[in-house]
Structure formats: structure tokens, C-alpha cells
Structure 1
Amino acid sequence: MAREDSVWQDSGGPGDGEGGPDDDVPFRRVAAALRERIAAGMSPGDRVPSVRALVGEFGVASATASRAVALLRDEGLVETLPRVGTVVAARPVRRRPARRAAGAAPDREAVVALAVDLADADGLAGVSMRRIAGELGLATMSLYGAVRGKDDLVGAMLDHVFAAEPEPDLGPAAGWRERLRAGARRQWAVYGRHPWAARAISLHRPQPLPALFALAEWDLSALELVEPDPERRLDLHIVLVGYVRGMAITLAAEREAEADTGLDADSWTDRDPGVNRALARHAGPALHRVGPYAYDLERVFATGLDRLLDGIGSAGLT
């Protein structure tokens, strides 16, 4: 299916006014259908269809569905609740973004902070230059005086969220293991608050960001205490960052699935007959010996981090 719009396309964003010749824009058609359902009798707190469900129902791209939901959120008709999803808002009051005087230059910090808020609520698919401009009461092109484009904006967003999570204050006596653990935990905390950030960071083509250089400096200074080879130290830093990032992407996907289904991973597995049939048919004796399993990504993350640090320590002693 051809995609009807782009995350960064600057035509017909949620900041536009209602009505007029843009009524046939796909995301507006989806928003109109949802608006009718809400008016027909949905109550505050009722869940509205997820982005995934809207894609299947209307045959649109996920970005289109996200923009439809974002438009209703701007109108105050729906709100997003952590671990619940998007629901009908209790009091439908249209949001009024703070506007600047005509001709006023956009503020980079305000642009970046707003982009982070939008990404936290809707993912990166909910962020566009046009939407940000509409929220701030600016012409879209004026934003390019504050950010140079998509890559610059996403990089500034990453710097913003990592700067808000202070480096651990461990003191000079802290050993390499304590330092590496604290650095990994700091990244995990950032990704927990901003799930989109894990997908935005690239390990194979690193972005030239102060936040990423700071991550490298933290790990490498700790690794100097246990690993004598400089190349291997950088290898291990990439392994650590990659582990945290990979687990964070899994965490973000699970949160999205919980919002879509209303079920956590354990509940979903218990209620899915296909999984239970497959376990009965295909699971080997080792898997059966595990017995009942409580799926807890926080515990899995801690277990993996411990074993990874064990390996670094063992290799450093040989």
C-alpha cells in the first residue's frame, strides 16, 4: 500500500484550521469518523481505536492515523494515558498553544521542548515541522531559523532528554563495574521516559551529538580500569550501548502493545490460544522445565546487564 503522507511532510498538519478544501485529506477523513463516534455516545475514559486498528480499518498509513489522533488531541476530544492508550477526554476543551507576536523569531529551546512533548505522546510519527509551527503560532518556514531540518531537530531532542537526566554522582572511589552499571541505568531511565529515543539513536552511523560523546566518555573512562586494549574498550562501549538500546526498543514495543490491547505480556500470552497450542506442540523439555514464567523486562534487563558486566570483568582479568 502506498503511503499517503510523510512524518515530515509540511502539508495539512494538525495545526491547520478545520473545514475548507482540506476536508478530503486522508487524516481529516479519519479524524471526522472518530469525531462522529465520540459524539454518538462514547463516554469520557472510553478507549478510541489504536493507530494500528485505524490503519487496518481505514487502509491508511500509520502516519496518517497518528495525525488523525493528534488532531483530536489538539481539539481536546481525546487524551493519552500511560499504560492505557488514547481515551475520550473528560472535558473537551480545545488546547490553545502559546503564540508569538507576528515576525518574532522562533526559539530553538521552545521548538525542541515541544517536539519532545509531541514525541513522548505520539512517537516520532507525531512530530512534524508544520505541527510544531501550528502549536507555536509560527509560519512553518520560520522554524528553519531554529533547526535546520529533521536530522538537526531529532539530534537536539536527544541532547535535550539526556541532559535532563543527570550523570550519576558516584565519587572518585567508584569502581569500573559500578560506573558502567550506573551509566547503563541512566540510559535505561532516559529511554523509559522517552521511548522514541532508543530508535532515534544510530550505532552504525553515530550522530555527532554531545549526548553521545558524553556516553562514550563515561563508559571509556570506566573501561580503562579493566580493559587495557583501546580498540576493545570502544568495542565494549558499543556493546553496552547496543544492549541498553535493544532492550529499550523491546520495552517501547511492549508499551505500545499494552496500549493497543489493554493487556500486558503475561496476560496476552495467557489469553492467546495460539501461543498455548504452539507451546504444547513445539516446546521441548528444557522449556517445559522452566515452568510458569513471569515476563518482566525490568528483571530481564538487570539480569542481562549483570551477565554482561561479568563477562567484561572476566575478559579484563585474563
Structure 2
Amino acid sequence: MSQDSGDSDEPPYRRVAAALRARVDDLAPGDRLPSVRAIVSDFGVASATASRALALLREEGLVESVPRVGTVVASRTPSRRRVRPRGTGPYRADVVALAVEIADADGLAGVSMRRLAAELGVPTMSAHGLVRGKDELVMAMLEEVFDAEPWPSVAVDAGWRARLEVSAHRQWAVYSRHPWAARAISLHRPQPVPALLAIAEWDLTALESVVADAERRFDLYMVLVGYVRGMAMTLAAERDAEADTGVDADWWIDHDPATARGMSRLAGPAIRRAGPYAYDLDRVFRTGLTALLDGMV
């Protein structure tokens, strides 16, 4: 049904938020709200409108996002607004750390200067004074999460392959903790982020010992970071799906009736011979990385 066809001048996301706000009154802390997909279907609005309505309720402290669960009614406790001594303001590091926390829970779409200011208890312009816009904020967030991940120890005389394995697994560890980061990074329009440039320096230095041509060396570096990021995009999509549906990929494949019927009808003989498949993205990542490095030089 569509509830977005009224004549009110109020923005659609606010009308959706008002309807959801009324539902919250009848729910207990921890109860799930409809997913973005369900809101789109119920209210006949765009997914961006649904996401913005939920974001407004989060800003008001009525709901919160729980990884792998979705949006739930918040506990009846004070919000997580940062409390500072009277007369002091937030530092840039406070803004970046809070943005990372929000993105970990709600994705990059949940991060806005308005929301950051509200949770820090300052005017929006004060937040803008510390971080000049979303682009600069995202680069600071990337620096924060990649710089925080330690480089594993590796022998000085370790070969190129061992060094590239260390680099790839380190990036995967960051993406596993912060799936939004894969979507924030651009390979074709690289961001001047010191922690990302350090990865490029590490990988290219490792390749110098086995690849003489500079262009091919950079191509191989792009292939490697592109593979890790691509797998991380799959990870991020699965995390989103888990939050939206409340179930993981294995449950979905085993129990979703439509999927079961489709696979039974459409799967070919090679797929059937493969037998039951345990979906483990970490294993797939390791398998793919080994195959990629085997054929690199």
C-alpha cells in the first residue's frame, strides 16, 4: 500500500518517520522495525526516503542499528551523546571516531554532519569547522581504520609473495571490521590518504624484486588491491542482507522457499554434482588470494 500520496508539504521521509514513530510507542526495546525494503513496499517510497526516515529516528534516539539484526527500538536510556566538561568542544578526532562508529553500525549512508553534531551535542556548523564536508570526513575515516590496523611482522628477507600476502590479509582484516570502507575507496580516483598510500608503497616495493616493467608492476598492484576490495564489497553486501533479513547466507540458501524452488528447477548437472556448499567468505578469500598469487609472476 502507498502512504506517500498525501497533499502535505511535509517531506516524504518525515511522513514515513512519523508513522514509524507511532509504531515505536507500541514496541519494546529491542523489537525490530521494518527493514528499508519493507518500508519501500509498505509506504511506496524510494529506498533513499526509507533510509532517511530511519536515520531521523536514530538521530532522535528512538531506534538504533544492531549489526546482523537491523533497526530496533532503542533502550530507554540516555543516548550515546558525548559528555564533555562545560565550556569545551569536540576535537576533530571525536568527530572522526564517532563517524566510524556510526558507519560500522549503519553504513556510510548513516553518517551525516547533522547527525554527528547532534550526537556530539554541538551546532552543525561546529562540526563543519572541524571537518569540511563529507569527502574530507570519509578520507579521515579511512585513515583512522587503516592506520589502526597493525602491520604483521614479516622477516626482512621475506620474499615478494609473503609480503603481498601480509598486505592482502591486513586489508581484509580492516574490511571485515569496517565493511563500509570498501565502498568508500576509489581505485580509479585514488584518495590522498597516507594509510592507503602506505599499502601501495609496500606492495610496489615487494613487486620490484620480480617485475622489472614499472607499468606491469603497477597493474599487478591494482589487480591485488582490486581483488581484496571486490571481495570486501561482497562482504559488505552480505552484512547488509543479514541486517535487512535477520538471517545469514547459509540459512537463506537452505530455508528460503523461493531460492530452493529456483535452484531445484534451474541448477545444472555441474552445480548438482558440487553437492552442499558451505558458504564461508573468509575461505573463499584465501582460496582466491592463493590462486591470484600463483599466477602473478
TM-score by length of 2: 0.88
- Distance between the aligned counterparts of 1:280 and 1:48, measured in 2? 33
- Distance between the aligned counterparts of 2:47 and 2:98, measured in 1? 21
Aligned length: 291
Given the alignment of the two structures, is residue 89 of structure 1 paired with residue 63 of structure 2, yes or no? Answer: no
Q: What is the Cα deviation at residue 47 of structure 1?
A: 1.6
- Distance between the aligned counterparts of 1:121 and 1:26, measured in 2? 24
- Distance between the aligned counterparts of 1:208 and 1:129, measured in 2? 22
Residue 24 of structure 1 aligns to a residue whose secondary structure is coil
Given the alignment of the two structures, is residue 283 of structure 1 paired with residue 267 of structure 2, yes or no? Answer: yes
Q: What is the Cα deviation at residue 34 of structure 1?
A: 2.1
Native 8 Å contact 1:76 1:92 kept in 2: no
- Letter of the structure 2 residue corresponding to residue 68 of structure 1: A
Given the alignment of the two structures, is residue 72 of structure 1 paired with residue 57 of structure 2, yes or no? Answer: yes
**Cross-structure match for 2:33:** 48
Residue 71 of structure 2 aligns to a residue whose secondary structure is strand
Q: CA, structure 1 residues 120+143, in 2 after alignment: closer, same or farther (shift >3 Å)?
A: same
**Cross-structure match for 1:252:** 236
Residue 79 of structure 1 aligns to a residue whose secondary structure is strand
Q: What is the Cα deviation at residue 105 of structure 1?
A: 6.5
Given the alignment of the two structures, is residue 26 of structure 1 paired with residue 8 of structure 2, yes or no? Answer: no
- Distance between the aligned counterparts of 1:303 and 1:51, measured in 2? 34
Q: CA, structure 1 residues 159+96, in 2 after alignment: closer, same or farther (shift >3 Å)?
A: closer
Q: What is the Cα deviation at residue 100 of structure 1?
A: 7.7
Among candidates 3, 9, 21, match of residue 35 of structure 1:
21
Mapping 1:1-318, distance limit 5 Å:
24-40=10-26, 42-98=27-83, 107-312=91-296, 316=297
Question: What are the superposed Cα offsets for residues 154-179 of structure 1, whole Å, 9 maximum, x if unpaired?
Answer: 11111111111112221313222221
Native 8 Å contact 2:146 2:174 kept in 1: yes
Q: What is the Cα deviation at residue 101 of structure 1?
A: 6.0
- Letter of the structure 2 residue corresponding to residue 159 of structure 1: E
Residue 44 of structure 1 aligns to a residue whose secondary structure is coil
Q: CA, structure 1 residues 75+147, in 2 after alignment: closer, same or farther (shift >3 Å)?
A: closer
Question: What are the superposed Cα offsets for residues 252-288 of structure 1, whole Å, 9 maximum, x if unpaired?
Answer: 1111111111221122122233333333333222222
Native 8 Å contact 1:130 1:140 kept in 2: yes
- Distance between the aligned counterparts of 1:26 and 1:151, measured in 2? 27
- Distance between the aligned counterparts of 2:73 and 2:90, measured in 1? 32
Residue 295 of structure 2 aligns to a residue whose secondary structure is helix
Q: CA, structure 1 residues 121+247, in 2 after alignment: closer, same or farther (shift >3 Å)?
A: same
Question: What are the superposed Cα offsets for residues 68-97 of structure 1, whole Å, 9 maximum, x if unpaired?
Answer: 333433444333323222222343434434
- Distance between the aligned counterparts of 1:58 and 1:99, measured in 2? 40
- Letter of the structure 1 residue corresponding to residue 196 of structure 2: L
Give me the identity figure in percent.
Answer: 69
Q: CA, structure 1 residues 236+61, in 2 after alignment: closer, same or farther (shift >3 Å)?
A: same
Q: CA, structure 1 residues 275+96, in 2 after alignment: closer, same or farther (shift >3 Å)?
A: closer
- Distance between the aligned counterparts of 1:121 and 1:280, measured in 2? 36
Native 8 Å contact 2:235 2:281 kept in 1: yes
Native 8 Å contact 1:158 1:197 kept in 2: yes
Unaligned runs of 5+ in 1: 5-22
Q: CA, structure 1 residues 100+62, in 2 after alignment: closer, same or farther (shift >3 Å)?
A: farther
- Distance between the aligned counterparts of 2:47 and 2:122, measured in 1? 26
Native 8 Å contact 2:99 2:141 kept in 1: yes
- Distance between the aligned counterparts of 2:134 and 2:64, measured in 1? 26
CA RMSD of aligned residues (A): 2.5
Native 8 Å contact 2:81 2:121 kept in 1: no
Question: What are the superposed Cα offsets for residues 139-196 of structure 1, whole Å, 9 maximum, x if unpaired?
Answer: 3233333222221111111111111111222131322222111111111111111111
